[in-house]
Homo-oligomer: A and B are copies of this chain.
């Protein structure tokens, strides 16, 4: 084992894919001969905690700032993100050697050529799992479990429009290795993540929050997925107030939270900021009380970010 390790990290406000894919990819690189260490930008959410416990995997080390964590620099591989605002702070002191992602490519730029593998699939773990398959690498049971969980999470058990045939086929190859039944394990996992009863309003609107920039403005979009939206929508005004506090303290042009109903496959999008015109244009609909109801909408990446950034142009 060399002293120099390759760090593998997902995005800020880490979700299941960012943590599980980082662990799975670091293990893949290590199996292929490059010592690699997964890290993450923050604590696992409830869903990811359920998964780490189920497969008895340790929580990766948390890195809040690269300059303090690795004062001498080092190699960094980005998983599940590429936009600068989603990368752990201080990353410019690191040598970014590669990206595996399934999102839009944002402001990512390098001086020299690096390895980049991006595919429009539903989950980064789908890409990582196929690296194991393509390179005839054995997949340990726990790693298969983490990658399967990430696919279930990102595709909401294959219900999301971001889910591709490749995601489903990959999950079906991973399930027997992981030793779980996709449907029953998947529902248990999603239920664990959908428990919002003990979250404060501030925590709710910051769930899986990401920043995006367009036309010189920065916005934030969070997403919280539940089995039933009644409880959250009952305190709609409080949530808009929490969004406004989040927005003004970060100087965002607007702050959004997607309240996604996993079973009905729909989303209530709430927001604060001067965004009525943007939302109205983005979804070609009238807006009311800082919110809009969107049927057949579960995917931030595919159904929310492109129209909103498009309307901001």
Interface contact A112-B117, CB-CB below 8 Å = no
List residues 102-116 of chain A with CB under 8 A from any CB of chain B.
102-116
Query: Can you sample 10 A-B contacts with CB below 8 Å?
Result: A102-B113, A103-B113, A104-B112, A105-B114, A111-B306, A111-B309, A112-B120, A112-B301, A113-B302, A116-B117
The 8 tightest CB contacts between A and B, nearest first, are A116-B118, A113-B120, A111-B306, A104-B110, A112-B306, A104-B112, A105-B110, A104-B113
Tell me, yes or no, whether A134 is within 8 Å of chain B by CB: yes
Tell me, yes or no, whether A165 is within 8 Å of chain B by CB: no
User: Looking across the interface, which residue of chain B has its beta carbon closest to that of A97?
Assistant: B120
Kindly list chain B residues whose C-beta atoms are within 8 Å of the C-beta of A101.
113
Of B112, B301, B310, which one neighbours A302 at CB under 8 angstroms? B112
Interface contact A119-B112, CB-CB below 8 Å = no
Interface contact B111-A310, CB-CB below 8 Å = yes
Nearest-neighbour CB distance to chain B for A205, whole angstroms, equals 25
Kindly list chain B residues whose C-beta atoms are within 8 Å of the C-beta of A110.
104-105
Q: How many copies of the chain does the oligomer comprise?
A: 2
- Binary B-proximity of A10-45 (CB < 8 A = 1, otherwise 0): 000000000000000000000000000000000000
Kindly list chain B residues whose C-beta atoms are within 8 Å of the C-beta of A112.
104, 120, 301-302, 305-306
- Binary B-proximity of A166-205 (CB < 8 A = 1, otherwise 0): 0000000000000000000000000000000000000000
User: Looking across the interface, which residue of chain B has its beta carbon closest to that of A121?
Assistant: B113
Q: Provide the bound-state CA to CA distance between A119 and B310, in Å.
A: 30
- Given A115-B118, A119-B115, A120-B115; A106-B104 close (CB under 8 Å): no
Kindly list chain B residues whose C-beta atoms are within 8 Å of the C-beta of A305.
111-112
20 other contacts beyond A104-B112, A113-B302, A116-B118, with CB at 8 A cut-off? A101-B113, A102-B113, A104-B113, A104-B114, A105-B105, A105-B114, A106-B109, A107-B109, A111-B309, A112-B120, A112-B301, A112-B302, A112-B305, A112-B306, A113-B120, A113-B301, A114-B120, A115-B118, A115-B119, A117-B117
Q: Provide the bound-state CA to CA distance between A110 and B214, in Å.
A: 11
List residues 72-125 of chain A with CB under 8 A from any CB of chain B.
101-120
Interface contact A118-B114, CB-CB below 8 Å = yes
Kindly list chain B residues whose C-beta atoms are within 8 Å of the C-beta of A113.
101-104, 118-120, 301-302
Kindly list chain B residues whose C-beta atoms are within 8 Å of the C-beta of A104.
109-114
Interface contact B115-A105, CB-CB below 8 Å = no
Counting chain B CB atoms within 10 Å of each CB, the highest count among A113, A120, A301, A305 belongs to A113
Kindly list chain B residues whose C-beta atoms are within 8 Å of the C-beta of A118.
113-117
